Structure 1
Amino acid sequence: MKKSIIAVAGAAAVALTLAACGTPTDEPTSGESGSASEGTSETSEPAENADFKACMVSDQGGYDDQSFNQSGKEGMDMAADELGIETTEIESTSDADYGPNIDSLITDGCSYIIGVGFLLEPAISSAAEANPDIMFGLIDAAPAEEMDNVKPLLFNTAEAAFLAGYVAAGTSESGTVGTFGGLPIPSVQIFMDGFADGVEKYNEDMGASVRLLGWDKEAQTGSFTGDFENQANGTTTAQGFLDQGADVVMPVAGPVGLGAATAVQGGGGTLVWVDSDGFNSTDFGDIIVTSVMKEIGQAVFDSVSEAAAGDFSAEPYVGTLENGGVGIAPYHDFDATVPQELKDMVEDYTAQIVAGDLVIESVNAP
């Protein structure tokens, strides 16, 4: 297995990357160290996978976002370790990097290229149309029209977010909770839709009147920071919720959510994390009551495995509660304080959703 990670910041860096890829003598051999932006390692490579190379392009959040980019990379790491294939991951630092980064991976001989996030859809679709012999994957989005060489990896997170909204409403002491997104895109808004429904269902069941800040599901309008990088924006937005009485906040904004966590921790509230189990992936486990998880890493691993075995299919993968593609995390430090009745209700609604008896609707669902 040969593995590399490349951090690219702008066109000049892309050009340097392309130059390096074209110079075999520059590639580290077993036991050598790569440059500051590229690391490699070698193990024996199975003959059947010798010509297969899986690659990934992050969105602007980068692979250290403690959220969905990181989860995607973990899937690639698993593929490299368990399948013995060569992998490369490139980080994007702005929207302008997506196209050049994908082009560099094509030049580098990648067999299967996965774009992480809704924002990469135009660049992936364009590259797939121009390179019909290369396989592509796309997390959290699908091409406008079905393409034979693009596999969408999608997640119905409204189902899991419904459960998290129910928990948030049931654990709020102030009777006010909040949610906000990074950008107003379907893969963000679907979380907010489910969360809103969970709060509403709790109110219906308990005769309560928990108030939701930051999202109007019917109007599809709410609070957005405008990016996935500036943690200060997350701090400001979350603080605004706290000032209005919220004591549970769900940021759907990648690294921006870390800024929200800082505000919530300082304000004595609790947090619902998204994409990964924030208790494990962030330093804010002590305030995270639960997380809305997307099993992106497993979906990436499975799609890479299929492609490497010659079984690539453009049929979309949709993660649900039923197939384990989405879910909520354990309560961890809050296990003793979350009421048993609330836990039982969450388990009951999980079973109803899996059985198809309860459908969580969202205009943003895949």
Structure 2
Amino acid sequence: MKKRLLALLLVLTVSVMATACGKSSTDSEDGTQTNEPAVETEEAVQETEAAATDFNVGMVTDTGGVNDKSFNQSAWEGLQQFAAETGAQVSYLESTQEADYSSNLDKQVDEGKNLIWGIGFAMADAILEAADMNPDANYAIIDNAYAETPDNLTGVVFSAQDPSFMVGYAAAYTTETNSVGFVGGMTSDVIDQFEYGYRAGVAYAAKELGKEITVDVQYAESFSDLAKGKAIATTMFSNGCDIVFHAAGGTGIGVIEAAKDAGKFAIGVDSDQSDLAPENVLTSALKRVDVAISLISKKLLEGEAIGGQTFSFGLAEGAVGIPENNPNMAPEVYEKVMAIQDKIAAGEITPPYNEETFEAFNQ
């Protein structure tokens, strides 16, 4: 039921955003609509710039930390970009354990932040409780949608199944052993998007190739245990996998280290992780948390009401995909992956995001 609810929220959010984007005209007295460009006076610009310098945004990481080479780091990069473009003040607090979430959120309120970001679905309960307790504070969370969202809380979700499908497709066209792997951090609706999108991409390509390709799936039950990620991936490589995709935050760095040690390929997540092992990262499934963080923060700075709703980011917003440069991927495979991206964008392929939609996709 929860997964169906998330899917429904995603659909409704896209519809609401599309409607809002369409309201770019003004009504004249005779009932017709005219597109009149807004004119900003120099005084208005100066007032906006002055307001920005007093605008203060804070974020709280999950247990992966701000240097996880994944979505926490991407979030902080997005805030830094927002600050560079607007002059706003930004800061972060790291959580070393789940018990830190509530206290870190409280600290941000005490510091008078105009907007407080919680990074990752693991913070969903803590940030909802904080929003209820502090109705005058503004909160936003990455990777979570609520059945009922308070007026001072904003959800942000991504179509992570789309880039996951793309990297699965690339893995199937690259594997030499016909055996690939997936390492997840913790089982959740969000990581389901990565797992089932990836598995569907592998299956789709395998069908085109006329062969069977197996996918070994394991979970580390952690987003910060590098050693466990490395151990799981090392076993996968020993058992015949030659490509392993991770959606495991800091744990996934261990997967990439294992690929480097084994002379095999890993597929990164969230950010372009090729710098971690230039010869052993096939590609990365990008989820541009930085794009979402910067955009939503700007909306609030400019006076737009963002609370009580969920924003969805995908291919149209340039928030998911794969890197432009993939030196370890054959050029002909890259071209095929780009063709798949076009089909996803056009609605010709709808990657699955959980077990139920995966089974339907493969029928």
If the length of structure 2 is used for normalisation, what is the TM-score? 0.82
Cα deviations across residues 9-65 of structure 1 (Å, max 9, x unaligned)? xxxxxxxxxxxxxxxxxxxxxxxxxxxxxxxxxxxx932224421110000000100
State the distance in 2 between where 1:361 and 1:254 align: 22
Paired residues in the alignment total 308
The match for 2:111 among 98, 108, 112 is 108
Query: Could you say what the CA RMSD is over the residues aligned between the two structures, in angstroms?
Result: 1.6
Name the structure where helix makes up a greater proportion of residues. Answer: 2
The match for 2:241 among 246, 258, 267 is 246
1:242 is paired with a residue whose SS is helix
8 Å CA contact 1:251, 1:272 repeated in 2 = yes
Cα deviations across residues 182-236 of structure 1 (Å, max 9, x unaligned)? 111122221111100001001111101111111xxxxxxxx11111112110111
The match for 1:70 among 60, 70, 73 is 73
The match for 1:131 among 120, 130, 134 is 134
Aligned partner of 2:166 in structure 1 is 163
Cα deviations across residues 334-356 of structure 1 (Å, max 9, x unaligned)? 24xx151x333212221111111
Alpha-carbon shift at residue 295 of structure 1 (Å): 1.0
Alpha-carbon shift at residue 283 of structure 1 (Å): 2.2
8 Å CA contact 1:114, 1:137 repeated in 2 = yes
The match for 1:186 among 180, 185, 189 is 189
Which amino acid in 2 is paired with 1:351? D
Cα deviations across residues 226-255 of structure 1 (Å, max 9, x unaligned)? 111121101110011112100000111111
Aligned partner of 1:292 in structure 2 is 285
State the distance in 2 between where 1:103 and 1:208 align: 54
Cα deviations across residues 128-181 of structure 1 (Å, max 9, x unaligned)? 111222111100112342222211111111011001001011101111000011
Which amino acid in 2 is paired with 1:284? A
Aligned partner of 2:253 in structure 1 is 258
State the distance in 2 between where 1:241 and 1:267 align: 10
Aligned partner of 1:83 in structure 2 is 86
The match for 2:229 among 227, 234, 246 is 234
Alpha-carbon shift at residue 330 of structure 1 (Å): 3.1
Cα deviations across residues 267-305 of structure 1 (Å, max 9, x unaligned)? 1111110000112xx421221111000111011011111
Change (3 A) 1:163 1:81: same
Alpha-carbon shift at residue 313 of structure 1 (Å): 1.3
Which amino acid in 2 is paired with 1:264? A
The match for 2:343 among 352, 361, 364 is 352
8 Å CA contact 2:57, 2:115 repeated in 1 = yes
- 5+ residue gaps, structure 1: 1-44, 215-222
Aligned partner of 1:30 in structure 2 is none
1:349 is paired with a residue whose SS is helix
Which amino acid in 1 is paired with 2:264? G
Change (3 A) 1:333 1:339: closer
- 5+ residue gaps, structure 2: 1-47, 358-363
Matched, 1:140 2:140: no
Change (3 A) 1:54 1:268: same
8 Å CA contact 2:53, 2:86 repeated in 1 = no
8 Å CA contact 1:289, 1:331 repeated in 2 = no
The match for 1:323 among 317, 325, 328 is 317
Alpha-carbon shift at residue 331 of structure 1 (Å): 4.6
State the distance in 1 between where 2:182 and 2:203 align: 14
8 Å CA contact 1:183, 1:228 repeated in 2 = yes
Which amino acid in 2 is paired with 1:343? Y
Alpha-carbon shift at residue 332 of structure 1 (Å): 2.7
State the distance in 2 between where 1:172 and 1:74 align: 33
